[in-house]
Chain A
Amino acid sequence: MIGVVDISAVLPAIIVALAAFAVLLSGAFANAGISACRLIATAGLLGALAEVLVRQSAGNLGGTVVGGPYSLFLEASILIVAIVAVWLASARIEDDHVNPHEFLTLMLFSVVGMLGLATAAEAISLFVALEIMSVALYALCAMPRTAPQRQEAAIKYFITGAFSSAFLLFGIALLYGASGSTTFVSMSGAVSQGGPLALMGAAFFLVGFLFKVGAAPFHMWSPDVYQGATTSVTAFMAAAVKIAAFGALGRVVALAIGGVSASWVPAVALVAAFTMVIGNLGALAQSDLKRLLAYSSVAHAGYMLSGIVGMDNRGDGLDAVLFYISTYAITNLGAFAFLIAIRRNGSEPATITDLRGFARRNPSLAAMLTLMLISLTGIPVSAGFVGKFQLFKAAVQAGYSGIAIVGVLMSAVSAFYYLRLVVLMYMEEPDEGSVFQTEAGAAPWIVTVAAAITFGLGIYPAPLLALAKAAAASLF
């Protein structure tokens, strides 16, 4: 390549990183308030989003990162989720006794890592991006550092996260040993010839990712971390990290290790089924709202893995994963925003019984949460149903009808715990003396918009489905 280097594929990450520095410096020098920080962060994220949407070239920076429709889909989803998360977090930042500059800076840095994951076309970039994302998240979980349960969450997350990074790195090393290259495309040649080195590498690689997406049996960290972290951080993790991790997993599977799919797909199919069962049965036993959502996110990782299992060489299956992950992120953000939007007797609802009789007090918010729970259960008319339908269709098309059977039966199980919230909100009377307040600010709006999108995509999903299909097909 002559002359200028095409940096357009990393430009969004650079813009977000600059915004992160700006937020940090604004705290150090101008002592800017939360609203100024939020403005800078939002502007940075919007700028990056604009760059993503207008980007024409698929410039590859020496083969380490790529633009293109697949990256675009992921980057745009991550940035939109990040903007929402910034507004959600800043609604609560003062109550949480967190330094807003540090908090938003870390959040933006983790977005830089996620964007890297979404675009990485090569193993070392992928690993570096993963670490940028994870380290920032470990620190986010620990905030504020005075609260012991936050410390606990952060330590647990850090240790298991480091563990999984080690697996991933080992997998990369083995794949490099087998192929002599770190780019996914050139790995695939060596990998598709099989051989113990390549297969071991693929296995370790997958295990590392399964840790990150919270698939069983590597899910143990997620309930503790979800419960321990501040709700806005949990919302951010539950939505954005899943997009980045599944996006990267999809690319690795499509480009690098797809050639030996016969040797690992049955294992991933087993993991998918196991994850659905563990996640849903685990959620049945939860009384803490955030733990419930944590187990539910484990279950959803299982559903999404069934799309990976159903991947064929035209991108079918992967498009279902992309559609599901973006809609799941929106719905899940809405559900967490609900927790942030309401106060019961002055504090955030913690256990499911705190929602008792809520529909009497605020019917519209209750209806919106119900809609999102319906979507998470996978009942029409909602985006969640369309997404599950596509995922299971992919699994059945690939000949894995068993996964689809486990999936639909587990969805019926999930109806039990999601509906329990609906029962509590609608069919039981409020406790004596319980007072519900709705926060002013962004959170109720986010709930509304998330519910509207969840419903709208349930009725007319074709545009997003088409985008996801084009994005997935562009990898092949």
Chain B
Amino acid sequence: MGILSLLIFLPLAGALVLALGRGMSDGLAKRIALGLTLAIFGISLSLLTQLPGFEISANYRFVENLGWMNQWGIRYHLGIDGISLWLILLSTLLTPIALLGSWTSIEERVREFNIFMLVLEAAMIGVFCALDLFLFYVFWEAMLIPMYFLIGIFGHGRRIYAAVKFFLYTMAGSALMLVAFLVLYRESGLQTFDLPTLLAGTHLDPSLQMWLFLAFALAFAIKVPMFPFHTWLPDAHGEAPTAGSVILASVMLKMGGYGFLRLAIPLFPVAAVACAPVIGLLAVIGIVYGALVSLVQPDLKKLVAYSSVSHLGFVMLGIAALSPMSVVGATYQMLNHGISTGALFLMVGMLYERRHTRLISEFGGLKNVMPRFAAVFLLVCLSSIAVPGFNGFIGEFLILVGSFSFSPVLVIFSTLGVILSAAYILWMNQRVMLGEVTNPKNANLPDLNPREWLTLLPLVFLSLFMGVFSSTFTASIEPPVLKIIQDARIKSFTTAPVILPPAAAIEPHGPVREEPKTEEPAPHQPAAVEGAHP
């Protein structure tokens, strides 16, 4: 079994153990799940041993290509490049953190909670590894069910409404994508759902591309979520338990951007380039709209939720601009958002655990009672605002600079979002942390305990580390991004199959160095999977 399969099936095995352990105590269930997810994180770190390879080329690594339903063109095909590498690490890092973060807040049905978290982790990793459309869809949909239960069972207030809304929105969105898969299968004439094969051999006419792209884009835009498809997000976040919010914001929202980069743009480059202005416009509307709504939120969690709409608008702007710099920035910003927003949701959850309210007006002057909490909170806030020195700055900077040639107007408007985000985050920080303690209920709140330190420290450390040593990450994000952009540019100028110069000739950074250790896909695969297109 390859390492990627191991990462997918270990959580499932853990879930199975928990499901069968009928009389298991809550404490044991929690420990098993946490231990397992930590082990999985450790295993996923071993993916980094190939980091030099990821930095050299966009080839898929750790490839596993096994038969599944071969007669129907469906294979169990896994593999990752520099983009999926970091998203997988983000998933494996945040799952144990989310579990630890809800160590005490989940008191009932603990075993079920951990089962759902483990299944969710498996499905998320699966989405980032899948190189077969059918397999991708299986993981994509499988993600919904555990999250639906997490919100519906363990959430607050209108949890059932939020859970059903989340489920129906996402499922309706991806339903059309399924039909698009089938149409793609028919029109490509390749009798396969294998992504690399389809990428190499599909030549669709522009109008059909447009329809298919729209079907894909709808699914991904709902997931991101892009304005105007974002309305499920505040409900889902508002009612979800802390762990659910963390996973939802940090990892699941990234599936949207990832879907654009992995599927929608490479498969339908003509349509993607044609739609870019609309996507860019919606992204900027999302940036400004999300920021304005955040400004007036009385509820901490909804404030963070709407800030996600705004921040992911930057990601989508970067993707729409389709310049190397902006797309690298967008990918990097997905990671940054995962870390800083994950930390914000964790800290809001800690406040909720202490006070059972999330209304900003209930707080005030917490800095006096819980100084350490306030200090960490400030760091997390700064990271979220993208202050230089923190990770968010690099991402937003790359996106804005990279998108400028795409549309100066959009960039100018989106900088409004940068300013507004400072306003709503700092104003929130001020109202919650600074001043005198006005509400007597806040007078004796305990400061961070060791468990909470443990959940926050890795995230705070990473947000600083990624702000300084960004090239550690971007170096391996760059090759796949360059390949996506080149392919999209080339294909969108020539819609008919034509003979192109070898990829090396159009590589702006000089010829791609061939690297011996690359795992090639199984020999029966048509070639053309990797960097060089014929």
Q: Which A residues contact B (CB, under 8 angstroms)? A: 363, 367, 374, 379-381, 385, 389-390, 392-393, 396-397, 401, 404-405, 408-409, 411-412, 415-416, 419, 423, 426-428, 460-462, 465-466, 469
Whether B159 lies near A379 (C-beta < 8 A) is no
Q: How far is the CB of B86 from chain A (nearest CB, A)?
A: 26
Please list the 3 inter-chain residue pairs (A to B) with the smallest Cβ-Cβ separation, ordered nearest first. Answer: A408-B175, A380-B138, A396-B182
Q: How far is the CB of A284 from chain B (nearest CB, A)?
A: 12
Q: Which residues of B contact A396 (CB under 8 A)?
A: 179, 182-183, 185-186
- CB contact under 8 A between A401 and B142, given known A411-B175, A412-B168, A427-B163: no
Q: How far is the CB of B9 from chain A (nearest CB, A)?
A: 12
B160, B168, B179, B183 pick with most chain A CB within 10 angstroms: B179
Whether A426 lies near B179 (C-beta < 8 A) is no
Whether A379 lies near B160 (C-beta < 8 A) is no
Q: Which residues of A contact B183 (CB under 8 A)?
A: 396, 401
Does any Cβ of A come within 8 Å of B72's Cβ? Answer: yes
Q: How far is the CB of A37 from chain B (nearest CB, A)?
A: 36
Q: Which residues of B contact A461 (CB under 8 A)?
A: 69
Q: Which of B72, B145, B168 contacts A465 (CB 8 A)?
A: B72
Closest to B172 in A: A412
Whether A465 lies near B178 (C-beta < 8 A) is no
Q: How far is the CB of A395 from chain B (nearest CB, A)?
A: 8
- CB contact under 8 A between A392 and B149, given known A419-B164, A427-B160: no
Does any Cβ of A come within 8 Å of B152's Cβ? Answer: yes
Does any Cβ of A come within 8 Å of B404's Cβ? Answer: no
Whether A415 lies near B160 (C-beta < 8 A) is no
Q: Which of A380, A390, A419 contacts B141 (CB 8 A)?
A: A380
Report Cα–Cα, A466/B69, bound state, in Å: 9
Q: Which B residues contact A (CB, under 8 angstroms)? A: 19, 68-72, 112, 134, 137-139, 141-142, 144-145, 148-149, 152-153, 159-160, 163-164, 167-168, 171-172, 175-176, 178-179, 182-183, 185-186
Whether A393 lies near B137 (C-beta < 8 A) is no
Q: Given contact pairs A380-B139, A462-B68, enumerate 19 new A-B contacts (beta carbons under 8 Å).
A: A367-B19, A379-B144, A379-B171, A385-B138, A390-B72, A392-B179, A392-B182, A393-B185, A401-B182, A405-B176, A409-B172, A415-B171, A419-B148, A423-B163, A423-B164, A426-B152, A427-B159, A462-B69, A465-B71
Q: Which of B137, B144, B160 contacts A423 (CB 8 A)?
A: B160
Q: How far is the CB of A276 from chain B (nearest CB, A)?
A: 13
What are 28 A-to-B residue pairs whose CB atoms are below 8 Å?
A379-B142, A379-B145, A379-B171, A385-B141, A389-B134, A389-B178, A392-B182, A393-B182, A396-B182, A396-B183, A397-B182, A401-B179, A401-B182, A401-B183, A404-B179, A405-B176, A405-B179, A408-B175, A412-B175, A415-B167, A415-B168, A419-B164, A423-B152, A427-B153, A427-B160, A462-B68, A462-B70, A465-B72
Q: Which residues of A contact B164 (CB under 8 A)?
A: 416, 419, 423
Q: Which residues of A contact B175 (CB under 8 A)?
A: 408-409, 411-412
Q: Which residues of A contact B186 (CB under 8 A)?
A: 396-397
Count of CB-CB pairs between chains A and B under 8 Å: 84
Q: Which residues of B contact A390 (CB under 8 A)?
A: 72
Report Cα–Cα, A379/B143, bound state, in Å: 10
Q: Which residues of B contact A397 (CB under 8 A)?
A: 182, 186
Report Cα–Cα, A416/B165, bound state, in Å: 9
B19, B70, B144, B175 pick with most chain A CB within 10 angstroms: B175
Q: Which residues of B contact A392 (CB under 8 A)?
A: 178-179, 182
Q: How far is the CB of A381 from chain B (nearest CB, A)?
A: 6
A381, A392, A408, A428 pick with most chain B CB within 10 angstroms: A408
Report Cα–Cα, A415/B144, bound state, in Å: 12
Report Cα–Cα, A426/B172, bound state, in Å: 23
Report Cα–Cα, A411/B141, bound state, in Å: 13
Closest to B72 in A: A465
Closest to B152 in A: A427
Q: How far is the CB of A339 from chain B (nearest CB, A)?
A: 23
Report Cα–Cα, A404/B183, bound state, in Å: 10
Q: Which residues of B contact A416 (CB under 8 A)?
A: 164, 168
Report Cα–Cα, A404/B175, bound state, in Å: 10
Q: How far is the CB of A98 from chain B (nearest CB, A)?
A: 37
Q: Which residues of B contact A381 (CB under 8 A)?
A: 138, 142
Q: Which residues of B contact A469 (CB under 8 A)?
A: 71
Q: Which residues of A contact B185 (CB under 8 A)?
A: 393, 396
Q: How far is the CB of A407 from chain B (nearest CB, A)?
A: 8
Q: Which residues of B contact A409 (CB under 8 A)?
A: 172, 175-176
Q: Which residues of A contact B176 (CB under 8 A)?
A: 405, 408-409
Q: How far is the CB of A209 from chain B (nearest CB, A)?
A: 26
Q: How far is the CB of B217 from chain A (nearest CB, A)?
A: 16
Report Cα–Cα, A412/B112, bound state, in Å: 26
Closest to A420 in B: B164
Closest to B148 in A: A419
Closest to A409 in B: B175
Q: How far is the CB of B248 from chain A (nearest CB, A)?
A: 18
Report Cα–Cα, A31/B189, bound state, in Å: 65
Whether B167 lies near A465 (C-beta < 8 A) is no
Report Cα–Cα, A397/B184, bound state, in Å: 10
B139, B145, B149 pick with most chain A CB within 10 angstroms: B145
Q: Which residues of A contact B160 (CB under 8 A)?
A: 423, 427-428
Closest to A405 in B: B179
Q: Which residues of A contact B149 (CB under 8 A)?
A: 426
Report Cα–Cα, A380/B183, bound state, in Å: 20
Q: How far is the CB of A388 from chain B (nearest CB, A)?
A: 9
Q: How far is the CB of B295 from chain A (nearest CB, A)?
A: 33
